[in-house]
Structure 1
């Protein structure tokens, strides 16, 4: 039998941003249904690296990232759960003089956004991190950045949304959504939801949802390739990325080293992702060039997941260009984890006020109007 719900806002997708939006909307007094095809927080929100990073982002994202960073400090108290956030600092490493020049250029471009970026030359980087290998010639440190456990953040927002009275429906793949009178109808497996307003936060599936309303949204699947080692003596206090984004490393307090690079594989028929051995081995080799002391570490698990990637590597966030009452938030292209809490607030602002205090013009869906295809970014250009 089909369960029927009527709410103010239906949200397609159950990632961190979607569930954070449900929390904010319930706090604003609106009724909400979150409709997720698998488990909340189990998609891109839960399979990523876990970097809570501001530096290295597209400049258009920095106002969002700065506001998001302030939210992370109080997230445990807000959620009533420990999400393992710590401001460990994020170090972006240079492996050539050209890389160092790129870090210097970014620091100049980001000046004025409030980032406290500290450029480290060869002597300074060795003094600060003597465990780094000779491949490193310099770095940029963002001391207020950090890391958290991605597996727990999305589910914690979903649990809070439930406690506040949101209808959270998991294992309910959405089959179709359409206008219905003054609002919308969303048809999912075993569920039909009528709503005044609709949020498309469907990740890699969001392009299909946008297409139901006549909007081009060229979302391509992005499958990060992740590796974790056995617990090791604690050595890597910072979250680490590199210019070019082809490897990223952090160590959790239990001692496990988490690293990633390259992409996993996937079968479009089942909409899942699997780790790729070649990508994992490549990431391991690049990690050893950065941290030689990990040479004898034992890998205990690899994984991948499914994210949505836009051709210009920044998300779609904002109202529909074709359909009043429809709001989009998707296509975070491998770097949406840190933004999740603020995306929820932005969605709530757009739904309740019709606008956000943050500058969203660069993220408008209209930039893809008339899209006829073109290249997406390569795996080596994913920044962490």
Structure 2
């Protein structure tokens, strides 16, 4: 019997498993995939940005702690996470967009985040290859990027070194006894018991919760990513832009990775997604408008994965109405940067009592919400 079973081999689930094991728990980590971070899961489709700026107020205490963790996380996990810290730059290209930059700067400064307002020569020095239309930016020098798949695998391996039992390649269903979650039943019929069961299963959480009679304002969305061919190094920070659906970075090996909230189409069966050609074209052209050098590059790869989005874009983290069942899902496209500290907070919450930093993310914070509002959210057309 395990103290805790964690279902979910992405970056959130593996971080939770690692931190629980580090803090002395007897942990089992499960995932239906054979690898800890594979298609079509959210970790697979993550852009890998380590962005502390421009986050929700509820995220800010956690994101500051996570930013400090990332500086030494490779050493902690004894793994190459391909982490680099070229900063994050959010730009305005026209005068009407400047107030958005000013608002972000003011909010993050008030929260104690080390953010800088940049323009002119300072802006050009940070990202000289950007469009000349960029007139002002919000810059966090300590931000950067890392490899999501490598990070999830590193957390899983580190958890295993601490005694965590890992089972990949088998689906699991929740085992209920007397109205309480008491463990899981694996696809091969094996029953595993636990005191606490954690669902860190992203978009798959929706179906798992539904089978237990829990309906939360969550929806799945397919998101697509683009990767260029290799180029000489010319872009240190991750770049986003007011008025553009864009996340742009250059990887340590030279490719440009282009993300954003570009929606992929549902797969014909199951939970999955396929890239939309029209969105690929718009995604690429938008990035090239910000970084003109992309016009001479070629598209090397396009892929998509599935993310769970909540109605308020904040995750659901904490104990559910079912005894023994804990949830960590719905990170709404911005869970990667905070994943190390989410793992630490969940471990603290489970092993030592309520963790105050997780209070804003209580799973049942929307109890009593108008069902029509939820239905509209879930059924929102899949378009960009």
Common fold: TM-score over 0.5:
yes
Deviations 1:193-226 (A, max 9, x none): 2111111111001123333444321221122211
Distance in 1 of aligned mates of 2:273 and 2:172: 19
How far has the Cα of 1:68 moved from its partner? 1.0
Is the partner of 1:141 in helix, strand or coil? strand
Specify whether residues 244 and 56 from structure 1 end up closer, same or farther in structure 2 by C-alpha distance, changes over 3 A only: farther
Q: Which residue of 2 aligns with 1:255?
A: 254
1:84 to 82, 85, 88: 82
Q: Which residue of 2 aligns with 1:196?
A: 195
Aligned residues: 374
Distance in 2 of aligned mates of 1:139 and 1:341: 27
Q: What pairs with 1:160-199 in structure 2 (closer than 5 Å)?
A: 160-179=158-177, 184-190=182-188, 191-199=190-198
Is the partner of 2:32 in helix, strand or coil? coil
Q: Which residue of 1 aligns with 2:237?
A: 238
Structure 1 residues not aligned, in runs of 5+: 1-5
Q: Which residue of 2 aligns with 1:226?
A: 225
Q: Which residue of 1 aligns with 2:100?
A: 102
How far has the Cα of 1:245 moved from its partner? 5.5
Distance in 2 of aligned mates of 1:75 and 1:124: 30
Q: What pairs with 1:141-160 in structure 2 (closer than 5 Å)?
A: 141-160=139-158
Q: Which residue of 1 aligns with 2:3?
A: 8
Deviations 1:210-248 (A, max 9, x none): 334443212211222111111101111111112246011
Deviations 1:297-342 (A, max 9, x none): 011111111110111111111222x123322111011111111111
Specify whether residues 189 and 98 from structure 1 end up closer, same or farther in structure 2 by C-alpha distance, changes over 3 A only: farther
Distance in 1 of aligned mates of 2:108 and 2:214: 32
Q: What pairs with 1:1-384 in structure 2 (closer than 5 Å)?
A: 6-38=1-33, 39-42=35-38, 43-122=41-120, 124-179=122-177, 184-190=182-188, 191-244=190-243, 246-261=245-260, 262-267=262-267, 269-320=269-320, 322-358=321-357, 360-371=358-369, 372=371, 373=374, 374-375=376-377
Specify whether residues 51 and 131 from structure 1 end up closer, same or farther in structure 2 by C-alpha distance, changes over 3 A only: same
Structure 2 residues not aligned, in runs of 5+: none
Distance in 1 of aligned mates of 2:32 and 2:243: 33
Specify whether residues 306 and 183 from structure 1 end up closer, same or farther in structure 2 by C-alpha distance, changes over 3 A only: closer
TM-score, structure 2 normalization: 0.91
Specify whether residues 97 and 123 from structure 1 end up closer, same or farther in structure 2 by C-alpha distance, changes over 3 A only: farther
Specify whether residues 117 and 64 from structure 1 end up closer, same or farther in structure 2 by C-alpha distance, changes over 3 A only: same
How far has the Cα of 1:30 moved from its partner? 1.8
Distance in 1 of aligned mates of 2:366 and 2:125: 47
Distance in 2 of aligned mates of 1:138 and 1:108: 14
Deviations 1:246-298 (A, max 9, x none): 01111112111111241122226222222221111111111111111221101
Distance in 2 of aligned mates of 1:248 and 1:306: 17
How far has the Cα of 1:192 moved from its partner? 2.1
Contact 1:135/1:289 (8 A) holds in 2: no
Is the partner of 2:377 in helix, strand or coil? coil
Distance in 1 of aligned mates of 2:19 and 2:264: 34
TM-score, structure 1 normalization: 0.91
Structure 1, 362-371 or 138-147: larger mean CA deviation: 362-371
Contact 1:177/1:212 (8 A) holds in 2: no
Is the partner of 2:99 in helix, strand or coil? helix
How far has the Cα of 1:60 moved from its partner? 0.9
